Amino acid sequence: MNIPAVRNVVAVTAVVAGASVVLSLVPESTRLGAVLAGPAPIPVFTLAKILLLAAAARWAAASRARLDPGHPARRPWGLLALGFAGLAAGHLSLGIEQLAWEAPPFPFVSDALFVPAVGLQVSALFGFVHAYRCSGLFSDAGTRRAAVVFVAAALAVTAGVAITTARLPVPWPERATDIAYAVLDLGLLVPLALLVRLARQLGGPVGRVWRVLLGAFIVFTAADISIGYLDALDVGPSYLASQLPFIVAYGLAAAGSRMQLAVIEG
């Protein structure tokens, strides 16, 4: 699938992700390192994330618009587009907060955008599972068995993360927000795991689309859980290092959304 827009997304993602790695290796003792340790990189990486998410939202919305009313995948693509747009708005708010305050006051405005955005993504992925069940690609019996296993695993991990987070030495509102993020992120794991099973069965362009999109969600979920937890313990990575997985995830989301639009357009 040779689409110029996808190549452009991949190029932007590779450049920005590579820059985050290279610049994170610059020692803070140097003049450049001191500049990079401050707020200077925030506008650049915030803009990159917003652009990638805006592209993903635009192409996901276009995919929804090209599906017939009543198509089972139409609503999930709309929810996914809203989720990407919500993440973009959240990163805009977060960038402003990081530039305005060295330690932004809690609760953050960005949290009011990120939490529902992730919730929309969870709903979208469950919607895709339902759509593929309706199409007969998932057997009901196999889906139920797999869902029980994945739900049990997600609940066990969520319980462990929530219990540990609840004991962190931070105010309760922050702990509650951290737990909400953990629950939502881990809530992505159940439909993700089911859709990974589907992607293994599919071939051709549709299979490639889902492998790219699922890669985006897997990277995003792993990064959001691990980096958020480490930040709560005050042992998180530097700002520059923390940008790598999110840039990669949003780049994959944009590329996958554009590939899906190409599949629908034929």
Q: What are the sequence ranges of the domains in the chain?
A: 4-265
Closest CA to 212 of 196, 230, 201: 196
pLDDT tens digits, 117-136: 988 998 998 898 888 777 76
> Cα separation of 100 and 23, whole Å?
23
Amino acid letter at 72? Answer: P
Taking CA atoms, 49 is separated from 90, 232, 243, 245, 252, in Å, by: 10, 23, 9, 11, 12
- Asked if residue 237 has pLDDT above 90, the reply is no
Instruction: Name the residue with tokens 């089972």.
Output: 72
Start-end of H helices in the chain: 4-24, 31-36, 41-66, 74-100, 109-135, 140-166, 172-187, 189-201, 204-232, 239-265
Three-state secondary structure call for residue 28: coil
**Which residues, including other chains, have CB under 8 Å from residue 117's CB and lie 6 or more apart?**
82, 83, 84, 85, 86, 87, 89, 90
pTM of the shown model: 0.84
> Cα separation of 191 and 126, whole Å?
5
pLDDT tens digits, 31-68: 888 888 778 888 999 999 999 999 999 999 999 999 98
Closest CA to 108 of 91, 122, 83: 91
- Asked if residue 1 has pLDDT above 60, the reply is no
Instruction: Name the residue with tokens 């959304």.
Output: 257
- Asked if residue 2 has pLDDT above 60, the reply is no
For domain 4-265, the question of CATH label 1.10.3470 is answered with no
What does the pLDDT read at residue 58?
96
- Asked if residue 162 has pLDDT above 90, the reply is no
